[in-house]
Amino acid sequence: MEITQKKEGDVHIFSLKGQFDAHAAGEVENKLNMVTSQETQKLLIDMDGTEYISSAGLRVLLSVAKKIKNKEGTIKLCSLRPYVKEVFDVAGFTQIFKIYNTAQEAINSF
């Protein structure tokens, strides 16, 4: 999995490209935890390049969401591909996360 990070204003944006499975989950979690351990209040995960997500990937997102919430921050997701969106629907994650069609929509909503 390819993980890129940038900051736009006060929003930390992570773009995930590839398969978010058990193999990639540890690396993604480490990178997200490095940012969430700081004073991050706004986190956006752009999943436009994410072709697949497993239960391990879902667990990472849920764990990071809990950490951000405990710091009174916000996590949002954007650009879910149809298969990934279907996994979120089935797992009930569309009720947990705010999901936007584009990164710009998500950034504007903070």
What phi-psi label fits residue 79: left (phi over 0), alpha (psi between -120 and 50 degrees) or beta?
left
pLDDT at 84: 96
Residue 92 host element (H or E) = none
Helix or strand holding residue 30 (H, E): helix 22-36
Q: What's the confidence (pLDDT) of residue 71?
A: 85
Global confidence as pTM: 0.92
Please choose, from the candidates 8, 17, 29, the residue with its C-alpha nearest in 3D space to the C-alpha of residue 81. 17
d(CA 54, CA 96): 17
Fold of 2-109: Transcription Regulator spoIIAA (3.30.750)
Render pLDDT for 24-70 as a digit per residue (tens, 0 to 9). 999 999 999 888 877 668 999 999 999 999 999 999 999 999 999 88
26, HSE (Cβ side, Cα atoms, 13 Å): 2
Q: 8 pairs with which residues across the strands?
A: 11
